[in-house]
Amino acid sequence: MRSIMTNGFFKTITNKYLFAFLVFSVWMIFLDDHNILFLRQNINKLKKYKVESNYYKEKILADNERLQELQTSSKNLEKFAREQFLMKKKNEDIFLVIENE
């Protein structure tokens, strides 16, 4: 009985199709230039880039709205200049309040 199991196991291992499949699998997983590990890294990079792309698209939309707001209203333009560039009128004094975190 034992020789039959050993013989069946030996036949399975020496099957040329199984051997070819195992060699091909090892080659594709570890040895090929575009192996599965490389593919997995690229998929992770792609996910990261999609998140960054969405962030920058939202940032561009917000900046476009801000630009449109500044181009249409002189009050908003003056407010922006005062806040960002610390511009002032001739008779004004500016006091900066810095909050510590």
CA dihedral of residues 84, 86, 91, 96 (deg, nearest 10): 110
Buried b (16+ CB within 10 A) or exposed e, 7-30: eeeeeeeeeeeeeeeeeeeeeeee
Whole-structure pTM value: 0.53
pLDDT higher than 80, residue 59: yes
What the block records as the tokens of 39 is: 């593919």
Q: What is the mean pLDDT of residues 10-21?
A: 78
φ, ψ (nearest 5 deg) of residue 74: -75, -30
Quote the pLDDT of residue 10. Answer: 67
Q: Taking the alpha carbons of 30, 34, 36, 37 in that order, is the dihedral positive or negative?
A: positive
For residue 2, is pLDDT > 80? no
